Amino acid sequence: MEPYMIIAITTGLFFSLRHIVNKYVIENHMSGIAWYYYYTVISVVSFPIISWLISPMVFPSMQSWFYIISSSIVSFIAVLILIYALTIGDVTTAGPVISSKPIFIVPLSFIFLGEFYGYAIIGWVLLIVFGAIMTSWNQGMKFKHVLSNRVLGLFFITTVLMAMVSIFSKPALQELDHFNYMGWWHIVQIPLLLAFMPFVMNKNEKINFRKRWKSTLPYAILENVFLYGSMITLFFALKYSVTLTEALVTTQGVFTVVIGSIISRINPNFLAEKHTKQIYIVRLLGAILILIGVYQILL
């Protein structure tokens, strides 16, 4: 077991905590796009400062600039597509589709990065993906909903783009440490936020933001703590292996099941989620499959 593998699992924990904060805020305080712009503006200002306080600034080479810019732009577009898809389509379809990201990572990392760990590892990755889909299963969902949905194409595009973010990141991380990569990656996000703002922040979103920004400030800070943790650990692990890192990050499904269950028992109204016993059993079985696959990869 390599240290980056433990770091990748830590990334899964941070992602899980982010999902819980995001779900709570969007359900109870602020619309999705306004919330995304709110916490992203904080991150693009603070993350470079924090990163360069930890690690001295290093200017990337032209080749690394290509990968940094490509990764940052693709990530920004992927999130916007996801937010748009969630506003017009079936929210319950998003989780299972996005959980399938390692399926795309395996061929892409082989084609572009030459990563191949044998067919046994691929088998365990597929088991993890199946478990991840189960942990994101929701009330009333049927398997046909995952296979045929009017916004399914948008979710799959988002998933492939998110996979490409990791593929683009690894080459630059061979030159830069993960702190410098984080800093420059977010610098690129600044002009993107400004360029897309007139198109995505309409009048209603701006009104929603002005009414809610003060009350949601603590959540925006908390979201950025978890966001920084998830990205800095992810970029660290991606330097060593995109395939195995992305497989291990799916442990976020396990953490979400556990943390969500604890929160639901303490405060049933916090996440506004009420499911049947059958749904919880499906999610628990999915978590077990993930743990089995992760254990085999860590051996």
pLDDT at 241: 95
* Per-residue pLDDT at 182 exceeds 90: yes
pLDDT at 249: 92
Lowest mean per-residue pLDDT among 5-9, 63-67, 126-130: 126-130
Give me the helix-helix angle, 119-135 and 101-113, nearest 10°. Answer: 150
Q: What is the mean pLDDT of residues 171-193?
A: 96
Residue 167 banded pLDDT, cuts 50, 70, 90:
very high
* Per-residue pLDDT at 92 exceeds 80: no
This prediction has a pTM of 0.87
Torsion of CA 272, 278, 284, 285, to 10 degrees: -150
pLDDT at 57: 96
Rounded to the nearest integer, the mean pLDDT of the chain is 86
Residue 110 banded pLDDT, cuts 50, 70, 90:
very high
How many domains is the chain built from?
1
Percent of the chain whose pLDDT exceeds 70: 88
* Per-residue pLDDT at 175 exceeds 90: yes
By the 10 Å C-beta count (0-12 exposed, 13-18 middle, 19+ buried), 95 is classed as: buried
> Tokens representing 39?
């916490």
Nearest in space to 169 (alpha carbons), one of 217, 218, 108: 108
Nearest in space to 15 (alpha carbons), one of 210, 196, 248: 248
pLDDT at 130: 85
* Per-residue pLDDT at 219 exceeds 90: yes
Residue 142 banded pLDDT, cuts 50, 70, 90:
low
Most confident of 30-34, 186-190, 201-205: 186-190
Residues of the domain holding 73: 3-298
Most confident of 89-98, 213-222, 263-272: 213-222
pLDDT at 201: 86
